[in-house]
Amino acid sequence: MPWMGTVGSFLSIPLCVGVVRLGVYTGHPLGVLVIASALTLLLGVWSIPVAEKLLGPRTDPFKRVRSHDHNQIAIDETLGMLVGTIALILTAHTSWIHYGLLFIVFRFFDVIKVWPASYFDNTQSPWAVMLDDVCAGIYAAAVLYSLFIFI
């Protein structure tokens, strides 16, 4: 199921919207984003080994047997989308179109795995599973921030 990362990223949009709205409501959008991201990171690092054990080895779309970073585990995409949300907060671009752009740009970087994401993608640990999507989120945030500021 190679499309599960796309589904996980798309289903993360309402969480990103909720985090931004809660942050605006409390007057601390970056603080709420940092807390939500940290909790997601910790939940992912804890739950990934449990999920991998329950899922067991799986054959990926390229016919490789994988025992880690299963396609069915998508909490890492949620963290990447949250990280990318910083660009929307810093530029006050928080319409549904902007979240859609975040989704597209994040998925692009999540798929192509620009270094250091490629390094983390080839490392077998729950931290690496989460960090390759953090990298994609950072790249997406940088592109969107530049786009919103300079265009």
More confident site: 94 or 108 = 108
Mean pLDDT of the chain: 86
Angle at 129 between CA 146 and CA 115, to 5 degrees: 45
Q: What is the pTM (predicted TM-score) of this model?
A: 0.88
What residue spans define the domains of the chain?
4-150
Average of pLDDT values for 108-117? 86
